[in-house]
């Protein structure tokens, strides 16, 4: 058993801030991640530089496809300490989880949102709210995740700030409460007006550009009186807009923020490093520290022996796995299970129990992960993200614990809409093909479906989006030296069924029955009209939607 001191655990949990950055593709999410690391002095130069030829890959993007396409397609966990200016005592421990930006990987993003305590919603100043942003916001709202809104790319021509605020209010019924309002219209970003909790403008922060935005932008501070002398009408316009919103009640209230009714608002340019440390300061001051969690009600009902129904942060150790990833380091053929510490103190080498199987295992190899850089972690506390090496038995949503048993709710699974048959180009590579298939399936890269008709050599990949197939094939080639072919299959709808329904269902035209790796029977239909016809003709058939749990 761990010798953790509850007071120490409570103090360490109190200084943790664990959050995800969510956004539509190309809103600047990975650039912001890089900029936040720069302001925490973890790196000396940001990865994004002017000019396509000189652009570096951000530290959180490690997969070759991410570097080639300039988008994030896998989540990455970064941990660092940060102390806001003037902060007394221990610095805050930041656990920042960068998430996939592409809609095809929304399931991965949803899993990350189950493992964090707050979210930064990043919005492009020119494009405003976009479909992926709206979808992810609804997940945050459903989970009760407090949201800090950042309007990014204010250095480029875009919409007016009041127009963007109005859109957020109308589209997602979230009231932005400005903390840092832009001085200068989009494309003419001069600085920020800092606003207090009464809606009063207190200070002008003027930014100076650095070469390519690769280093921290110098800041100069002015009183409102000095600001009007310096900026004239531009300052007056900014303060009038801020006062207009304050008069309408758009001022920060911590309780409303924690209830996901309001959202602190910051304008920034991640590329130029304008407004970046203001985001970090706001997270430290306002975002919640880790809290305890309730057990899965279904697991409690099915339990054959005593099980905890809740864990506070100071209770015995417990953690939940939200992602499994292999191939992050070509020098290490290992698998990392990303675990969020929920309660207690994690000590490397401690013996823990896997709740789903009841098996015990040692956590001898535990890492903190910064992009592709890894270092051994000796201890971790609630809110921390730990990479457990070669924990092959773990899958997303699994619980590990010490002491009395606990099992947390499972991670969501999405209904796949795209299907391909996967086969190895060379029959001589079948052994490697099978090994790669098992590994990538366990990570949740795609869902793998099999049946006797097609055999093990021709499994069906099921995915939310087609880019998942590209990732699957690319990783099989790079990590396992297996070239593959993905052939189309004439199905577009999936439903869960039962052993009783399957025999008769299989006789229907335009239907094929498969077994998923977790043992579930999955029926694929040629199209939604075929499904509708069968449901009407056979109302006794069990056909359940594969939606997020």
**Binding site, annotated residues for GTP:** 98-102
The string of DSSP codes covering 261-323 is SEEEEEE-BTTTTBSHHHHHHHHHHHSPPP--EEPPHHHHHH-SS---SEE-TTSS-EEEEEE
How far is residue 334's CA from residue 332's CA, in Å, rounded to a whole number?
5
517 Cβ contact list (under 8 Å, min separation 6): 441, 442, 447, 448
- Sheet with 373-376, edge to edge strand ranges: 360-362, 351-354, 399-401, 318-326, 335-343, 385-389, 366-370, 373-376
Q: Is 402 exposed, middle or buried (0-12, 13-18, 19+ CB in 10 A)?
A: buried
Can you say which residues are annotated as belonging to the binding site? Answer: 98-102
Comparing C-alpha atoms, which of 175, 187, 183, 220 is closest to residue 201? 183
Quick check: helix, strand or coil at residue 492?
A: coil
User: What is the four-CA torsion angle of 460, 463, 469, 470, rounded to 10 degrees?
Assistant: 180
How far is residue 339's CA from residue 349's CA, in Å, rounded to a whole number?
15
Comparing C-alpha atoms, which of 386, 382, 380 is closest to residue 10? 382
Give long-range contacts, CB 8 A cutoff, 24+ apart: 249-253: 249/175, 250/165, 250/175, 250/176, 250/177, 250/178, 250/199, 251/177, 251/197, 251/198, 251/199, 252/177, 252/179, 252/197, 252/286, 253/177, 253/197
Q: Are 449 and 516 in contact (CB under 8 A)?
A: yes
How far is residue 372's CA from residue 207's CA, in Å, rounded to a whole number?
32
């Amino acid at each position: 058993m761990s010798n953790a001191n509850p007071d120490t655990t409570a103090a360490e949990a109190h200084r943790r801030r664990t959050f995800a950055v969510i956004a539509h593709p190309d809103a600047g999410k990975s650039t912001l991640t890089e900029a936040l690391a720069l302001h925490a002095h973890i790196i000396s130069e940001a990865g994004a530089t002017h000019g396509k030829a000189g652009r570096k890959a951000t530290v959180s993007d490690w997969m070759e496809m991410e570097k080639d396409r300039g988008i994030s397609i896998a989540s990455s966990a970064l941990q660092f300490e940060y102390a806001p200016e003037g902060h007394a005592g221990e610095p805050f421990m930041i656990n920042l989880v960068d998430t996939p930006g592409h809609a095809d990987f929304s399931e991965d993003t949803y899993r990350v949102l189950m493992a964090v305590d707050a979210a930064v919603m990043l919005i492009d100043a020119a494009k405003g709210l976009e479909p992926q942003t709206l979808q992810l916001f609804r997940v945050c709202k459903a989970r009760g995740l407090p949201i800090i809104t950042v309007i990014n790319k204010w250095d480029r021509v875009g919409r007016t700030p009041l127009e963007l605020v109005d859109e957020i209010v109308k589209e997602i019924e979230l009231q932005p409460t400005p903390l840092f309002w832009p001085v200068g219209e989009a494309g003419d970003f001069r600085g920020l007006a800092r606003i207090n909790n009464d809606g009063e403008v207190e200070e002008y922060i003027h930014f100076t550009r650095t070469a390519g935005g690769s280093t921290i932008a110098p800041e100069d501070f002015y009183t409102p009186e000095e600001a009007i002398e310096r900026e004239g009408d531009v300052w007056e316009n900014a303060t009038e807009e801020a006062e207009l919103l304050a008069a309408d009640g758009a001022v920060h209230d911590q309780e409303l923020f924690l209830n996901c009714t309001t959202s602190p608002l910051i304008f920034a340019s991640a590329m130029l490093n304008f407004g970046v440390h203001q985001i970090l300061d706001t997270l430290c001051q306002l975002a919640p520290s880790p809290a305890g969690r309730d057990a899965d009600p279904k697991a409690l009902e099915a339990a054959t022996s005593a099980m905890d129904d809740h864990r506070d942060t100071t209770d015995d150790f417990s953690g939940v796995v939200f992602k499994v990833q292999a191939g992050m380091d070509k020098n290490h053929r290992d698998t990392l299970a990303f675990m969020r510490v929920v309660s207690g103190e994690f000590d490397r080498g401690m013996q823990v129990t896997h709740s789903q199987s009841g098996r015990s295992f040692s956590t001898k190899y535990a890492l903190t992960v910064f992009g592709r850089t890894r270092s051994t972690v000796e201890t971790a506390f609630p809110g921390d993200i730990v990479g457990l090496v070669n924990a092959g038995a773990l899958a997303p949503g699994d619980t590990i614990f010490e002491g009395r048993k606990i099992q947390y709710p499972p991670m969501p699974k999405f209904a796949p809409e795209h299907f391909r048959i996967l086969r190895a180009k060379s029959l001589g590579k079948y052994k490697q093909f099978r090994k790669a298939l098992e590994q990538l399936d366990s990570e949740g890269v795609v869902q793998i479906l099999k049946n006797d008709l097609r055999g093990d050599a021709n499994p069906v990949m099921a995915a939310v989006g087609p880019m998942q197939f590209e990732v699957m094939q690319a990783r099989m080639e790079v990590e396992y030296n297996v070239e593959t072919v993905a052939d189309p299959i004439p199905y577009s709808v999936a439903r869960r069924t039962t052993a009783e329904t399957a025999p008769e269902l299989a006789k229907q035209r335009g239907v094929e029955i498969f077994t998923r790796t977790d043992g579930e029977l999955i029926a694929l239909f040629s199209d939604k009209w075929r499904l509708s016809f069968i449901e009407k003709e056979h109302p006794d058939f069990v056909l359940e939607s594969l939606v997020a749990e």
